[in-house]
Structure 1
Amino acid sequence: MAPNQCITFWDRPQTGQWRAVNRGFAGEFRPQARGHGFCRKPPRTAPFHSQTANMNKTHIALASALIASVSTLAHAADAAPAPAAPTPDWTVTANVSLASDYRFRGISQTDKRPAISGGFDVGHSSGFYVGNWNSNIDADFFQGGNVEMDFYGGYKGTISDFGYDLGAIYYYYPGSGRKPNAAVVKNTELYVGASYGPVSVKFYYPLSDFFNAENIYGGGNAGGSYYVDLSGAYDLGSGFGVVGHVGYQKLKGAAKLAEADGHVTKDYTDWKLGITYALPNNFVAAVSYIDTNRKYLGATGHKVSNATGVLSISKTF
């Protein structure tokens, strides 16, 4: 590096999840430190000075210039920052959560009891991703299965200011169907989502019988059922955030849900409003209000879709 050449210092960008959520952006700052130096004009010599004296002065000048050059390079080397680490092609994150209830599309999956959940996500810089999420559930509600395991994968990216997400998710309930006259509970859905700013919408469509409803209830395949999820999140500052959600579930074929008064319904709407707070070490605390427009009964006779408050604390690794 030349003595008078400018040295540019770079701040490393900070990098910023879904089950989205399912499942941050960084800026960069470039101050500059300008190099500096000085030159000295050699004194004029008389014409009768000897050639030896002139050569001595030349040697001294060259030595001084060399020392100054080496010193400048040494200072430049000391001041130059280490190169920023390249952004990895692959990222792996994990999560764990404790909640007072596990609500899926507005309906309690734990018979209104606490849930422990967790999973992991693997993403590539190209936009492809895969992941897994697991939680305890109510065995009576799921034909003997007491664990839900979700496996998903897809591709997401952006076009201008819009985001998109395409993928599939498989819901697996190990242990379901082992009891007499019990059916295996499972479901596979395709999804397509779009986002703009803090708002997102996602459409889920089952590939086959919706949660194996035909084997559980009879009356025809439940293919064609679908779910629409409209969600949003907003940063309030000081670690606080607000989240909102409205969803609509349409049931077809054998899929159905019975309300407390015995009325059988084929669709319902659910909604959620919550406050989040970011704690140190990647912990997040949340309190949410969740409700639906139906009063469904669980396997134990509890109303599993009525209004409730859910407390949770989660951590991302």
Structure 2
Amino acid sequence: MNARNRSVQVLAAIVTVAAVLPAHAVDFSGSAAVTSDYVFRGISQTRGDAAPQLGLKAALDSGFYGSVWTSTVDYGPDLGTDAEVDLVAGWNRTFAQRWNLDVNLTRFTYPGTREPANLDYNEVIATLTLDSRWWAMVGWSENALASRGRGVYVELGAKFPVTDAFRFETVAAHYDLDEGLGKSYGRAQLSAVYTLNKVDLRASGHWTSDSAKTLFPGVAGSRFEASATWNF
């Protein structure tokens, strides 16, 4: 069974489980967004072009959840794919009133990729958040970015509210890709976010270290991103 078929089966299982559970036990949510440039960990996935994005999530009272998120991508004509679909199974819990822990397994999939290329890979991601403002995240994969080598992503972030509707967010991160790609890189991000009803309007500046430009020529470095996300 190939990776694409496995991804379809995982998605079908998430939908089936959500459908048979009692309605009161499941909380459904989602998001719809458009961004001027889909930037993932400092690297443009659309070569600077705009992308529509959609996410759906089903969460149980116990903290377990499943979600699906998708976006258009542009990796050039040779690979064939023009979409990313992320399948997530995880657990989220708030404890001691101030701390939140989220642990999940994310499968990044790229439907339509031409064989023999295989861009799909798994990553275990853990995020610890304090007071909904400060967070530390670690992502670990044995096949980071489908490189067939181990990768570890470490991120520290913070939110700085100015008003109830307006805030700044900062991120500093390091992506260890030495085993798979022979280099690692660092990244930073500064965002201004304004929330209007259920819509987040975001303007972000992204910066990466020079090693990212070597690993991902043309899609790393400094770039600006603007997005609007409707949360429902």
How high is the TM-score relative to the length of structure 2?
Answer: 0.82
1:222 and 2:222 aligned: no
Query: Of the candidates 158, 177, 185, which is equivalent to residue 114 of structure 2?
Result: 177
Asked which structure has the greater CA Rg, the reply is: 1
Aligned to 1:187: 121
Aligned to 1:315: 230
* Change beyond 3 A, Cα 1:279–1:175: same
Counterpart of 1:237 in 2: which secondary structure?
A: coil
Deviation string, structure 1 residues 269-308 (Cα, Å, up to 9, x no partner)? 111111111113x112111111111252698x6x211211
Aligned to 2:39: 103
1:203 and 2:135 aligned: no
Assess if the C-alpha contact under 8 Å between 2:127 and 2:137 holds in 1: yes
Aligned to 1:283: 199
Aligned to 1:270: 187
- Relative CO higher for 1 or 2, CA cutoff 8 Å, sep ≥ 6? 2
Aligned to 1:293: 209
**Partner letter of residue 191 of structure 1?**
I
1:47-196 map, 5 Å: 88-140=24-76, 143-160=79-96, 161-178=98-115, 182-196=116-130
Q: Which runs of 5+ in 2 are unaligned?
A: 1-23
**How far, CA to CA, are the matches of 1:274 and 1:171 in structure 2?**
25
Counterpart of 1:193 in 2: which secondary structure?
A: strand
* Change beyond 3 A, Cα 1:238–1:201: closer
Assess if the C-alpha contact under 8 Å between 1:99 and 1:114 holds in 2: yes
**Runs of 4+ displaced beyond 3 Å:** none
Counterpart of 2:178 in 1: which secondary structure?
A: coil
Counterpart of 2:179 in 1: which secondary structure?
A: coil
Identity %: 22
**How far, CA to CA, are the matches of 2:75 and 2:222 in structure 1?**
22
Assess if the C-alpha contact under 8 Å between 1:144 and 1:176 holds in 2: yes
Q: Which runs of 5+ in 1 are unaligned?
A: 1-87, 214-220, 257-265
* Change beyond 3 A, Cα 1:240–1:142: farther
Assess if the C-alpha contact under 8 Å between 1:209 and 1:222 holds in 2: yes
* Change beyond 3 A, Cα 1:142–1:269: farther
Assess if the C-alpha contact under 8 Å between 2:181 and 2:215 holds in 1: no
Query: Structure 1 residue 252: deviation in Å?
Result: 3.2
* Change beyond 3 A, Cα 1:164–1:238: closer
